[in-house]
Structure 1
Amino acid sequence: MSVSNGDISKTADGLRTLVNVTENTADASKIDEGLYSRQLYVMGREAQLKMGSARILIVGLDGIGVEIAKNIILAGVKSVTVHDDIQASSMDLAAQFYLNKESFGTSRAHACVNKLAELNPYVKVNAHSGEITEEFLSQYHVVILVNADLKEACRINEFCHANSIAFLSTEGRGVFGSVFCDFGDSFTVTDKDGKQPSSCLISSILGSDPPLVTVNDDDRHQLETGDYVTFREINGLDFLNACEPCKVTVTGPYTFTLNIQDEKDKERFEASSYVRGGYVTQVKHPVVMKFDKLSKALQSPGEFLITDFAKFDRSELLHIGFQALHAFESKHKKLPEPGNMQDAEAMYSIAAEMNSLAAQGKRFSAEHLETPESKKILLALALGARGVISPMAAFVGGIVGQEALKACSGKFTPIHQFLYFDAVESLPEETFSGDTSNYTLEGSRYDGQIAVFGHAMQKRLKNLNMFLVGAGAIGCEMLKNWAMMGLSTSESAAIHITDMDTIEKSNLNRQFLFRSKDVQQPKAQVAGLAVKEMNPEINVKSYVARVGPETEDVFDDEFFESLSGVCTALDNVEARLYVDQRCLFYEVPMLESGTLGTQGNTQVVVPHKTENYGASRDPPEKSIPICTLKNFPNAIEHTLQWARDWFEGEFNQSAVNANQYLDVPDFVKQLEAQQNTKLETLEGVRSTLATGRPKCFEDCITWARFKFEEMFTNQIKQLLHNFPLDQLTTGGAPFWSGTKRPPCPIEFDVKEPLHLDFIVSVATSRAKMYGVKADFDTSQFIQAISKVHVPQFVPRDGLKIAASDAELNDEANGRALGDLDEQCLSILKDIPEPASLNGYRLAPIDFDKDDDEHMRVIVATSNLRARCYRIPEADMYKSRLIAGKIIPAIATTTALVTGLVCFELYKIVQTKPLEAYKNGFINLALPLFAFSEPVAPKTNTTRVKGKEYKWTSWDRIEFDGKDTTLKEFLQYFENEYGGEVTMVSYGVTLLYAMYSAKSRSPERMASPIPKLAEIVTKKELSPKQKYLILEICATDAEGEDVDLPYIRYRLK
């Protein structure tokens, strides 16, 4: 990143900082927003600039070290130095994705430094060899040790702690991981959680001792007792608008009281009263944290960060266990041999002795170390200690990468100080068998994984057929993990990847398999080629196709029946639900994950053991009432949505409608089915092709100037004419109160930058839509605007404006259809015949949030409307986030969730019981880790032939149908299930209904089910289709409904 060197110094509080960061912060151009756009919405500009001045040292470049380096380099620090004198070997290849057989004999750091440097051209990446001296350490802001010797870690930490260098140490030993953070005696956290400060509309302020504030019930205030708030735009208690931040006590989700200590302030509350309006906004204060050095923390660790509350005591056990592992290595000059129970018992003995001595010396000790369960955990730690596996590297690498960024930026709360994690549930039962032959290392690239899971597991993994839906950020990380794990390496196996998207510049910050040269190339194809370079043994098949009903001829019955599992790496719920239904139908395990900034979640779906993905859903996103958008906005989100809708209507839909009028012969006839919108559509076509069609660029400027007057002046004047500022509701309350903010019309001023931005951006977009040449400079724009004559506006009496969505609906329902048809006929007379415009077409503009020209229109339009209603305006950065509905993203969270998913994959391969699986939720900002056992599928119960019949969403009735007739089908179910079938449906069409004479006709009853399906749907079945999905309704002998699962009707 092109920022100044950022000389290292200490502040008064001892925090190691970058003295030039403040200077850099003023220059936003130093951030490549095209590259870092999604990450900026996670970290913020200030944090990104601080990161861009940070120098980081990583010692240890095994699989975990390279994960950390990858995440930090993608994030955009100033420089990363990697140090590792250990020579690369086959043990590294199960997790270190930038090493290969050609790397053997070269130090791990030097072997992968060039590939690391390719990740981000703004980050300087160096490799270092030799002794790590204090002089060398003093160059860095953050030092990270990976699987380091404990004595060496303590030595380095002593220097770092004394010199305010942030220190991180991490280990990954098989399915066990640890992280330690020491950010010095005084570390300032500028933003503890990364959430946007809460801001709400005020409904009332009552009383004075203490004053009770109530916010609008549309949104909870999200405050906590002890938070501070400020006020603005309050009418009636105006002095609050200028007050210092005030402390609050929360009394409810919509109420809180103000802690008023000053007697003068109390008197002011008593002397005046709240009238209306105003916003309350949370104010965030910095938090100072103190860290102990490693040697002290080992003896007295304080509270551990719990990663799984089902393993509440696990952290204290592993705190002793990892120290015992280091003691074993120091004594025997090696780690325990894979699968060697004698070595494991020896390490456990060391742990027990250490724990006993610690208890006697009144130092930290684990309470339950000698129980059989605890012993089994420590034996597992020893048995797999030599293996570094890709899922653990991804998990720990994500955590440590984020902690390093916290150290650089002060953004988010660091781990204080130890974190321990294990996935011992994923280990095979034979782990404790003592059979060392299963763990013999043979120089294979999977030795690091075989050391933990054994040869038997490796054979299972190589034969998996996996389907990865999506090759974006999660998809890239997952592919890398699978390549390291050795999935699908047998001749009969393959990893199928599909993604219909192409690579964009903004992807490069997280989707690490892609480079600048790959922009505009298909993601799936590039990802497949990139991962083959990491492991040439895996078999990859790439598709550029969306997974949906339209591609069921590609991803057909045979395809899904060949799969071992499906992994979703999607960015929308609709696609996930479709894949979920396919997995239900074919009884295929599904691995689901998602991220939102520093938050991540994982869900494992196992046939017949867990509920499916769609069984439980989040509540739908709250929509903005139409009347709020049209007439009564009170937040920038409202004005941005309004601007998006206007952009879509003026620059996309208008052109689409006009082209359809020109291209589709029965366009007008088709509009008859759209009674609510046909008048508006025809008016738009008339404006687009007749009354508003520009002949030159000056016409586009004139149109834009008229639009400004219409949208920001005339509409506001009309609204105030209908609802004057002193208007009262039928209940006698002020109309303009609560969420209704009184607007003010804007008088156009060409010297006002925002006014001119609107004219320039809107006129330019209109010209592009019409294919009109637009090459004016600013002076030409101003000159053209000055020539536009804008007529005086006179508000209309009798014009109805709905004050609520209910009134809007009544208004729409009350339109006379006869009048509507007459108006449409009148409009059609004004529109040129399509033949007269032969060859003329418009170019619809599809909104693209990453297109600055599109965003200039949105920002100008939204901010002008916000200015009308005195709503705080939003810059391009914030507007892009809201209007583009961007999902904030960062590589650290993405890496972490894929590691968790792969631990679940180990379990699926072994068909583990339900209690072994884990669904996860994490928030690296807090930090928070929460795991839970998946929910079992809901059981439905009915009675068939007098007996209880149970089934879940995974069950179906298999029917080998082929050419079975409808009559035979009905007879079979009545005989088999002892009831009467009342209805049979295929998709949305009925094949049979007892009440319908037509469906009971002899001809239909004699028809084969497949033929009947084709007749009713008027669509031929695909030759590749193996099944029909049929739903039946049935009643028993007493006339009670019989609730049965669907029928999978086999065609062949």
Structure 2
Amino acid sequence: LQLPLPEAIKDPEFLISDFAKFDRPAQLHLIWQAFDAFYEQKKFLPRPYNEADAGEMLFLCEKLNAAAPEKTRLPDIDKDLVRLFSFQVEGNLIPITGFIGGIAAQEAMKGMTSIFTPIRQWFYFDALECLPDSDSPFKLNKQTCSARGSRYDGQVVVFGWPFQEALLRQKWFIVGAGAIGCELLKYFAHIGVACGPGGCLFLTDMDSIETSNLNRQFLFHRQDVGSKKSEVAAKAAKSFNPALNIKAMCDRVGGDTEQIFNDSFFENLDGVTNALDNVEARTYMDRRCVYYRLPLVESGTQGAKGNVQVVYPYLTESYSSSQDPPEKSIPICTLKNFPNAIEHTIQWARDLFEGLFTIPAELANQFLDDPRGFFERVDKMHAGQKAEMLASVKRVLIDDRPSNAEQCITWARMRWEENFNWQIRQLLHNFPADQVTLQGAKFWSGSKRCPHPLTFDANDPTHTEFVYSASILRAQMYNIIPIVDLTKVVEIATAQQPPPFVPKSGVRIAINDQEAQQAAQNGVEGKGAHRWQSDDLSRSLFTVAFRRWPLPGVTPGFSQIEA
């Protein structure tokens, strides 16, 4: 139950995000109430490093605390925290406002979707550890934190001018211009990193912008598709702050580019930020930072989750010093036969997509790009795995290769029947709805939910959309112009009469992950008798001329083969 605001103020419930500051939220709750009272009385904010205003804030905190209910009354007020709050409350930091904005956006999504639990009920965030301590050369006082009519005045109130001037002179290397890279550029430009004499941001990314990038890489727009990420991102960042000194590069980081990112390059840097999407590049940059004794800010995202690791020479461990535990995976048998949660269906759909459109096309293109090298790699595989690989390539390039859009629709209709009728009926043939275990319990119980085969219905949009989308993807895969008229697609699909289902005897369906792994191993060992010989496959494929080219806007991972 969420309390109304007046009641929640008097009887707060805090969300603790940092257990090293367990008592901090209660102190901040009181200070913010005193701040509201201060503004109501004075009609202005406490001024930076004004002792009179800080004294008034402390007086209000003591007054409010004395009037608070006994169970929420603080035994001691943190006077240093009150003074620091008063000194800096007039300031503002772009990274903090971005963080709070992200929290607010997530709370709005929770309210609209009713999926995740909202914050209950007060959430206070501070990062006081970022402030310079008494030993720091960046001193905070009325003189160093006074406004000068600069775009950085709000930041200077918090960190002072000496710190700001140091930011302006910084030289940093941003590796990657994807989703994280765009965010880093935005914040660096706004806070003034490399925006003064001697400062420079180096940005590198070898990739070009794709349509799929636009929903989460906010510096890119529709007209930028096909352009280099680093060049477009650098131009966008400079529009935020024209004083930004930035150099865009299109080189990958690795052993083959060390003549570009050489000793002279790294020795002139102040730090590196990774915005990469693969572990190999991350560990390479980590080694370079360790070698050149440079700070590294490592970050990554996965769905709604994110992580940041700050690596500082002689103070913290390096990125490669530890590894995350393996991600929990969904058991194969659950995914294929006994899904019971929404994440199972999502992963099933992704696996189906890759199995139909990504992996077969990649294998075919590997063969077409380098037949000799492809056969050399395949020859090193187990007999069954080799047979499966070669048969897959032959199916894609010869046996199942469509010649027109109508055949793509027919293929999609058969895939619907296979996935939503035949496979379910085979599962129910092996495990009938009334089956019981050896212990007398119902087989279909608990996490095993009895499925029901579907019959294709042209009036059901979920049925027709599967066939429609799959037919278009199939056509794009072979560079065939697809039929995009939904009515026409449904008409062709409805005219198809799938062959009657005949249950297969002797088919073993795994009921746990161990059985699924054993079945996969048996498959690898038992397919040797059915393998395609390399020379036969080669003669078959080279009788057909293939030519490929990329289509703009096609889903990443697709390869196109012209019919």
Contact 1:651 1:844 (C-alpha < 8 Å) held by counterparts: no
- Where 1:677 maps in the other structure, the secondary structure is helix
2:290 corresponds to 1:290: no
Q: Which residue of 2 aligns with 1:563?
A: 269
Q: Distance in 2 between matches of 1:650 and 1:707?
A: 9
Q: 2:170 aligns with which of 464, 484, 492?
A: 464
Q: Which residue of 1 aligns with 2:473?
A: 765
Give the C-alpha shift of residue 516 in structure 1.
5.4
Larger Rg belongs to: 1
Q: Which residue of 2 aligns with 1:586?
A: 292
Query: What is the identity, as a one-letter code, of the residue corresponding to 2:5?
Result: F
> Cα gap change, 1:833/1:555 in structure 2, threshold over 3 Å: closer, same or farther?
same
Q: Distance in 1 between matches of 2:465 and 2:293?
A: 56
Q: Which residue of 2 aligns with 1:485?
A: 191
Q: Which residue of 1 aligns with 2:561?
A: none
Q: Which residue of 2 aligns with 1:652?
A: 358
> Cα gap change, 1:836/1:645 in structure 2, threshold over 3 Å: closer, same or farther?
same
Give the C-alpha shift of residue 798 in structure 1.
3.7
Give the C-alpha shift of residue 570 in structure 1.
4.8
- Where 1:289 maps in the other structure, the secondary structure is coil
2:108 corresponds to 1:426: no
TM-score (norm 1): 0.44
> Cα gap change, 1:581/1:662 in structure 2, threshold over 3 Å: closer, same or farther?
closer
Give the C-alpha shift of residue 335 in structure 1.
5.4
- Where 2:6 maps in the other structure, the secondary structure is coil
- Where do 1:11-410 residues align within 5 Å? 287-292=1-6, 309-311=19-21, 312=23, 314-315=27-28, 318-319=31-32, 322=35, 326=39, 336=47, 343-344=50-51, 346-354=52-60, 367-369=75-77, 374-384=78-88, 387-396=91-100, 398=102
Q: Which runs of 5+ in 1 are unaligned?
A: 1-286, 852-1052
Q: Distance in 2 between matches of 1:387 and 1:348?
A: 15
Query: What is the identity, as a one-letter code, of the residue corresponding to 1:315?
Result: L
Query: What is the identity, as a one-letter code, of the residue corresponding to 1:692?
Result: D
2:411 corresponds to 1:700: no
Q: Distance in 2 between matches of 1:732 and 1:760?
A: 45
Contact 2:266 2:292 (C-alpha < 8 Å) held by counterparts: yes
2:167 corresponds to 1:453: no
Bigger shift: residues 358-367 or 510-519? 358-367
Q: Distance in 2 between matches of 1:368 and 1:707?
A: 69
Which has the larger share of strand? 1
Q: Distance in 2 between matches of 1:746 and 1:556?
A: 61
- Could you report, residue by residue, the CA deviation over 1:997-1051 in whole angstroms, capped at 9, with x for unpaired residues? xxxxxxxxxxxxxxxxxxxxxxxxxxxxxxxxxxxxxxxxxxxxxxxxxxxxxxx
- Where do 1:704-743 residues align within 5 Å? 704-725=412-433, 729=437, 733-743=441-451
Contact 1:697 1:773 (C-alpha < 8 Å) held by counterparts: yes
> Cα gap change, 1:681/1:302 in structure 2, threshold over 3 Å: closer, same or farther?
closer
Give the C-alpha shift of residue 465 in structure 1.
1.6
2:390 corresponds to 1:672: no
Q: 1:823 aligns with which of 491, 506, 530?
A: 530
Return the structure number with greater relative CO, CA threshold 8 A, min gap 6: 1
> Cα gap change, 1:361/1:590 in structure 2, threshold over 3 Å: closer, same or farther?
same
- Where 1:837 maps in the other structure, the secondary structure is coil
Give the C-alpha shift of residue 670 in structure 1.
3.4
Give the C-alpha shift of residue 809 in structure 1.
4.2
Q: Distance in 2 between matches of 1:397 and 1:845?
A: 34
Contact 2:472 2:484 (C-alpha < 8 Å) held by counterparts: no
Q: Distance in 1 between matches of 2:112 and 2:352?
A: 42
Q: Which residue of 1 aligns with 2:555?
A: 848
Q: Distance in 2 between matches of 1:687 and 1:835?
A: 14
> Cα gap change, 1:713/1:847 in structure 2, threshold over 3 Å: closer, same or farther?
farther
Contact 1:652 1:845 (C-alpha < 8 Å) held by counterparts: no
- Could you report, residue by residue, the CA deviation over 1:696-734 in whole angstroms, capped at 9, with x for unpaired residues? 344334434444444444444444444455555555655
Query: What is the identity, as a one-letter code, of the residue corresponding to 1:427?
Result: P
Which has the larger share of helix? 2
Q: Which residue of 2 aligns with 1:58?
A: none
Give the C-alpha shift of residue 673 in structure 1.
1.2
Contact 2:172 2:201 (C-alpha < 8 Å) held by counterparts: yes
- Where 1:542 maps in the other structure, the secondary structure is strand
2:398 corresponds to 1:690: yes
Q: Distance in 2 between matches of 1:409 and 1:741?
A: 26
Q: Which residue of 1 aligns with 2:249?
A: 543
2:546 corresponds to 1:833: no
Q: Which residue of 2 aligns with 1:775?
A: 483
- Could you report, residue by residue, the CA deviation over 1:101-142 in whole angstroms, capped at 9, with x for unpaired residues? xxxxxxxxxxxxxxxxxxxxxxxxxxxxxxxxxxxxxxxxxx
Q: Which runs of 5+ in 2 are unaligned?
A: 559-563
Residue identity over aligned pairs, in percent, reads 40
- Where 2:247 maps in the other structure, the secondary structure is strand
Give the C-alpha shift of residue 595 in structure 1.
6.0
Give the C-alpha shift of residue 469 in structure 1.
3.3
Give me the CA root mean square deviation: 4.7
> Cα gap change, 1:507/1:783 in structure 2, threshold over 3 Å: closer, same or farther?
closer
Number of aligned residues: 549
> Cα gap change, 1:721/1:567 in structure 2, threshold over 3 Å: closer, same or farther?
same
Q: Distance in 1 between matches of 2:111 and 2:528?
A: 68
Contact 1:503 1:522 (C-alpha < 8 Å) held by counterparts: yes
- Could you report, residue by residue, the CA deviation over 1:736-773 in whole angstroms, capped at 9, with x for unpaired residues? 44444444444445555544444443333333333344
Q: Distance in 1 between matches of 2:352 and 2:90?
A: 61
Q: Distance in 2 between matches of 1:321 and 1:547?
A: 52
Q: Distance in 2 between matches of 1:320 and 1:486?
A: 33
Q: Distance in 2 between matches of 1:801 and 1:306?
A: 47
Give the C-alpha shift of residue 290 in structure 1.
0.9
- Could you report, residue by residue, the CA deviation over 1:912-958 in whole angstroms, capped at 9, with x for unpaired residues? xxxxxxxxxxxxxxxxxxxxxxxxxxxxxxxxxxxxxxxxxxxxxxx
- Where 1:833 maps in the other structure, the secondary structure is helix
Q: Distance in 2 between matches of 1:822 and 1:362?
A: 83
TM-score (norm 2): 0.76
Query: What is the identity, as a one-letter code, of the residue corresponding to 1:691?
Result: D
- Could you report, residue by residue, the CA deviation over 1:467-511 in whole angstroms, capped at 9, with x for unpaired residues? 233444544443333334332244433122234555567766765
Contact 2:189 2:240 (C-alpha < 8 Å) held by counterparts: yes
Give the C-alpha shift of residue 779 in structure 1.
6.0
Give the C-alpha shift of residue 824 in structure 1.
2.4
2:314 corresponds to 1:608: yes
- Could you report, residue by residue, the CA deviation over 1:231-264 in whole angstroms, capped at 9, with x for unpaired residues? xxxxxxxxxxxxxxxxxxxxxxxxxxxxxxxxxx
- Could you report, residue by residue, the CA deviation over 1:965-1000 in whole angstroms, capped at 9, with x for unpaired residues? xxxxxxxxxxxxxxxxxxxxxxxxxxxxxxxxxxxx
- Where 2:326 maps in the other structure, the secondary structure is coil
Contact 2:298 2:310 (C-alpha < 8 Å) held by counterparts: yes
Give the C-alpha shift of residue 464 in structure 1.
1.9
Query: What is the identity, as a one-letter code, of the residue corresponding to 1:690?
Result: I
Q: Which residue of 2 aligns with 1:620?
A: 326
Q: Distance in 1 between matches of 2:315 and 2:494?
A: 72
- Could you report, residue by residue, the CA deviation over 1:562-588 in whole angstroms, capped at 9, with x for unpaired residues? 322223345666655554444344332
